[in-house]
Amino acid sequence: MSRGALIYLIEDEAGLAEACAEYLADRGFDVRVGHSGEDLDHLMARAGPPDLLILDYGLPGEHGSQILGRLATGKTFPILVASGEGDAMERVISLELGADDFLVKPYELRELAARAAGLLARYGHAERRLVRFETVTVDLTAQQIVLNDRAEALGPGEVALIRAFADRPGQLLSRQDIIELAPADDSEVYDRAIDTRVSRLRRKLATGAIRTVRGHGYVYEPVTGALTAPDIGREE
């Protein structure tokens, strides 16, 4: 699989930065974290410009708006501003300074991932992980099922389960493999609960591509035209 889009996440709240980075990394992005404008400069010097910058405004030292102002001219990557101040004036000023999108704290991690994917697509760095089944397409980045321009949200456990199968087409996965690859709630860690999870997922996807191997586990056999693991990644 190709390397995920490179995201610089500049956020001074260590706990939030860790949660965001882990969530985005689980969705295939290559995330580098910094906590100040100085950290961002070091990242740029070492690894070059990112595919996407997620920039907190309330940073120590150089304010996020100052960083935005000096980066926006001639930039080749999108900038998503995150701020605890969500008034209309700050949004307008951020966009005028060169931000491509604005997110108000506190935000849902799913929304952060969806906005990141949208900005990357706009700049030609699409990183949507798509898995096609017989009648629906799963967008793993946005965590949703798409059918006839309608979208239905997927839960984290469902996303992890689909990802476990999609990354291993044709490979037999035992119940224990699935428990390790797609952890669920404590109440669902037992072997037979895996059967229930897989059965629910197959009904939701209306698919026969996830096949039961009696006594052994499950195998995902992509339908014709589906996007299997080698195909999922950067869309040039």
Percent pLDDT > 70 in the chain is 87
What pLDDT does residue 190 have? Answer: 58
Structural domains of the chain in order of their starting residue, each with its CATH number:
6-122 (3.40.50.2300), 130-231 (1.10.10.10)
What pLDDT does residue 49 have? Answer: 92
pLDDT digits (tens, 9 = 90+) for 137-185: 998 766 788 887 677 888 878 888 998 999 999 999 999 999 888 876 5
CA distances from 235 to 28, 48, 116, 130, 133 (A): 13, 20, 15, 11, 19
pLDDT digits (tens, 9 = 90+) for 37-66: 999 999 999 989 999 999 999 899 999 899
Q: What is the mean pLDDT of residues 198-217?
A: 95
Q: Look up residue 77 and give its DSSP letter.
A: S
What pLDDT does residue 152 have? Answer: 85
178 closest CA partner among 201, 207, 148: 201
Q: How far apart are CA 13 and CA 60, in angstroms?
A: 10
Tell which wins on pLDDT, 194 or 142: 194
Q: How far apart are CA 101 and CA 94, in angstroms?
A: 8
What pLDDT does residue 206 have? Answer: 94
To the question of pTM greater than 0.85 for the whole model, the response is no
What pLDDT does residue 233 have? Answer: 36
178 in Cβ contact with 199 (< 8 Å): no
Q: How far apart are CA 210 and CA 222, in angstroms?
A: 8
What pLDDT does residue 230 have? Answer: 37
What token pair was written down for 161?
């389960």
Tell which wins on pLDDT, 26 or 185: 26
pLDDT digits (tens, 9 = 90+) for 64-82: 899 999 998 778 899 999 9
CA distances from 85 to 33, 60, 89, 105 (A): 22, 16, 10, 8
pLDDT digits (tens, 9 = 90+) for 120-132: 888 877 556 789 9
The pLDDT confidence band at residue 110, using thresholds 50, 70 and 90, is confident
